[in-house]
Amino acid sequence: MKFVAATNNSHKLAEMRRILERMGHTVVSQSEAGVHIEPDETGATFSENAVIKARAICGACGLPTVADDSGLCVDALDGAPGVYSARYAGVHGDDGANNQKLLRELDGVEAARRGAKFVSAVCVCLPDGAHEVYLGECPGSIGFDERGTNGFGYDPLFIPTDVGAGAACVPNTEGRTYAQLSADEKDAISHRARALAKLEQDLPRFLAHNA
């Protein structure tokens, strides 16, 4: 199936395209679909924001659309930064500033209390307005410094509980961050991959129901 990925984030686009193409789908970017808007993410939850983005982009291009809204929820910060993850430090998409603010907020918090999870809400939307949302989570913790160069956003600080190992997952005994994992290792356990896997599993039912 051909999907438009509702994102202007090149890193997120690459990840969504990699995962969905591995499932046998074709993915085009917003710009390739001739859409150059950035919907306001006014939702109170990841799911609400994913729906906002998917419906806006789908309505603009008239093609099936997949949107992801995701973020980091830290236990010691009562779930923050949450839906404000991309603009935690005040400027949308400033990864460096966001990571530094997170480290400041957790200054003095011991390792045992640095639990966190990445959450992804993926919305698939059809031109007739039918849509569905799928949630994926990846548990882990927040490190004390940034490590790795393979990721984006909070990836250099997030230490997943498990890592991918072929078709299986194993405990992350080395304490590697998202940004220290290969693409395959991350895709086996990431919040976004898990949400997209749920979409893939449910897609035949969703399409048949809305035929």
CA-CA distance, 175 to 178, in Å (whole number)? 10
Report the distance separating Cα 173 and Cα 96, nearest Å: 26
Select from 179, 142, 186 the least CA-distant residue to 164: 186
Entry pTM:
0.95
Whether the Cβ atoms of residue 192 and residue 15 lie closer than 8 Å to each other: yes
Per-residue confidence (pLDDT) for residue 150, from 0 to 100: 93
* Mean pLDDT value across the chain: 96
> In three state form, how does the secondary structure of the chain look?
CEEEECCCCHHHHHHHHHHHHHCCCEEEECCCCCCCCCCCCCCCCHHHHHHHHHHHHHHHHCCCEEEEEEEEEEHHHCCCEHHHHHHCCCCCCCHHHHHHHHHHHCCCCCHHHCEEEEEEEEEEECCCCCEEEEEEEEEEEECCCCCCCCCCCCCCCEEECEEEECCEEEECCCCCCHHHCCHHHHHCCCHHHHHHHHHHHHHHHHHHHCC
Cα–Cα distance, 166 to 163 (Å, whole number):
10
* The predicted structure's pLDDT at residue 113: 97
Q: Is the pLDDT of residue 164 over 90?
A: no
Domains, the chain, in order of start with CATH, read 2-209 (3.90.950.10)
Checking if the pLDDT of 166 tops 90, the result is no
List, for residues 129-155, the tens digit of each pLDDT value. 999 999 999 999 999 999 999 999 999
Residue 165: its pLDDT value, please? 75
**42, two tokens:** 């006014």
Beta pairing, strands 65-74 & 168-171 = unpaired
- Residues known to be catalytic: 69
Q: What is the pLDDT of residues 27-65, one digit of tens each?
A: 999 999 999 999 999 999 999 999 999 999 999 999 999
| Confidence band, pLDDT 50/70/90 cuts, at residue 200 | very high
